[in-house]
Amino acid sequence: MTRVAIVTGAGTGIGAATARLLSTKGLAVVLVGRRAELLEAVREEIGGRTLAVTADVGDRTAPERIVAETLAAFGQIDVVVNNAAVIEPSPIDAVTREAFERHYAVNVAGPFFLVTAALAALRASDDAAVVNVSSSLGTIVMPDTTLYGSTKAALEYLTRALAYELAKDGIRVNAVAPGGIDTPIHETYAEDLQATLADLARRLPIGRMGRPDEVATWVWSLIAPETRYTTGTVIHVDGGHVLGLPESAGG
């Protein structure tokens, strides 16, 4: 039976790359994101058994609607990839309550409640898996990333807690933690995109930005049937970012 995967933030970057790869592996893919035109472009590229659901995972009503539309189209849910996120760098004394609540709504509450909304379907699956997309900033600290980094640290704790709680149901839960990946998310906050990307790259021991497909490969690995014995793990796909700042970068 064809497995069905929900991928959030699927219009660009890691989400789009993951959707493409899962489709090539034979999964039906539900593309979730805020911008219908981006989702439709990915859906047309992939073809096959795909569904696009326009939704903001930070909206309280979104998880139930995403699950309902998925079940209406395919009748099952086997995989959830929680990739959607927001990042709005800011000094702590400039953080607003609105920004705080938005980060936690999208980056923490969204993944948690999407999994709980899909729980009955995941329990019914013979090969259920959840992958949460965290960040190297869930482990290390960079200036002005208090909100984003703290949400990713919370997401990694949720990964371990859900893995423990759901193991008895045969649902494995893991995470990937990218760092310095060349995706459009940087355009949402960078005043000088090229300077921002160059600064990120110089902080990586491996010496370059990563590609979305390099993260997607690990998402697939963590939901593949061959890794059914793996749960509660966070895989760093970050060019060595968490290892520390290279000497050549200074500081």
pTM to 2 decimal places: 0.92
| Per-residue DSSP letter, 214 | H
**Which entry of 104, 148, 164, 189 is annotated as an active-site residue?**
148
Contact between residue 108 and residue 155 where contact means Cβ atoms under 8 Å apart:
yes
171: which strand partners? Answer: 128
Give the angle subtended at the CA of 29 by the CAs of 23 and 34, to the nearest 5°: 125
Task: Report whether pLDDT(190) > 70.
Answer: no
Contact between residue 200 and residue 139 where contact means Cβ atoms under 8 Å apart:
no
C-alpha span between 27 and 8 (Å, rounded):
15
**249: confidence class by pLDDT, cuts 50, 70, 90:** very low
C-alpha span between 71 and 123 (Å, rounded):
14
Average pLDDT score, the chain: 92
- Residue 118's nearest CA partner among 161, 76, 155, 152 is 76
Residues 6+ apart with CB under 8 A from 121: 67, 70, 71, 76, 77
Task: Report whether pLDDT(250) > 50.
Answer: no
| Per-residue DSSP letter, 196 | H
54: which strand partners? Answer: 33
Domains of the chain: 4-236 (3.40.50.720)
Structure tokens at 137: 């900033």
pLDDT of residue 202: 76
pLDDT of residue 218: 98
Task: Report whether pLDDT(247) > 60.
Answer: no
pLDDT of residue 199: 73
pLDDT of residue 94: 96
DSSP three-state, residue 140: coil
The distance of Cα 249 from the centroid of its chain, to the nearest Å, equals 28
Task: Report whether pLDDT(179) > 90.
Answer: no
Q: pLDDT tens, 39-67?
A: 999 999 999 999 999 999 999 999 999 99
- Residue 171's nearest CA partner among 214, 251, 97, 116 is 116
Q: Annotated catalytic, 157? A: no
